[in-house]
Copies of this chain bind each other. A is one copy, B any other.
């Protein structure tokens, strides 16, 4: 990774831990292994570093999203998968999703940074909501909708069902973001959540 990229990387780490205003450019430089003024050979200001992070992340998310949309069509083909979706599979799916979001270096640092900075900047707030509320709800709604079509889960309100699935997962995620030592507890709660979700919406009930 070249210096220019490493600056973004270290800066993202620091911003996510302490917030933009509490990070000194000298600190970023030190982590990269250079002196503060040298940063300016790569970015014209501290703010430019922040903006570059946001832009790069947005690109990366957009790429991911369009990849998902491409699969969106053959998701219908893949829907067969969900015909056999039992509780164990559902838990596995949810846990993996959760752990990915929690531990994936980029997404987790970016999420924390946005959490801190969103209130300073309306654009960031919009980005935050899109990434962590609207898009996930929409995507998972599609997915769960398929499973409902398969008759594995039953509801007449897929959107609310999706909220029921996603909101607890996201909340547990924020718990771990704030206090990583609570991860085991959160994982336990996550699994209980999915188990109960499955029971509540499962074919057998209604």
Q: Which residues of A contact B (CB under 8 A)?
A: 16-19, 21-22, 112, 115-116, 118-120, 125-126, 128-129, 133, 155, 157, 159-161, 163-164, 167-168, 170-171, 175, 178-179, 189, 192-193, 195-197, 200-201, 205-206
B119 touches A19 (CB 8 A): yes
Would you give 23 A-B contacts (Cβ < 8 Å), ordered by A? A19-B21, A21-B21, A21-B22, A22-B120, A112-B119, A115-B115, A116-B116, A118-B178, A125-B178, A125-B179, A128-B178, A129-B175, A133-B171, A155-B196, A159-B189, A159-B192, A160-B189, A163-B168, A163-B171, A163-B189, A164-B164, A164-B168, A171-B171
Chain B residues with CB under 8 Å of A192's CB are: 157, 159-160
Q: Which of B128, B178, B189, B205 meets A129, CB within 8 Å?
A: B178
B193 touches A164 (CB 8 A): yes
Chain B residues with CB under 8 Å of A118's CB are: 178
Chain B residues with CB under 8 Å of A161's CB are: 196
Given contacts A17-B119, A164-B193, 9 further A-B contacts (CB under 8 A): A18-B120, A115-B115, A126-B179, A157-B192, A163-B171, A164-B168, A170-B171, A171-B171, A200-B201
CA gap between A171 and B160 in the complex, in Å = 13
CA gap between A129 and B174 in the complex, in Å = 9
CA gap between A176 and B79 in the complex, in Å = 34
CA gap between A144 and B166 in the complex, in Å = 21
Chain B nearest CB: distance from A195 CB in Å?
8
Chain B residues with CB under 8 Å of A18's CB are: 119-120
Chain B nearest CB: distance from A21 CB in Å?
3
**Among A126, A129, A159, A164, which residue has the most Cβ atoms of chain B within 10 A?**
A164
B19 touches A120 (CB 8 A): yes
* Smallest Cβ-Cβ distance to A116: which chain B residue: B119
Chain B residues with CB under 8 Å of A189's CB are: 159-160, 163
B160 touches A129 (CB 8 A): no
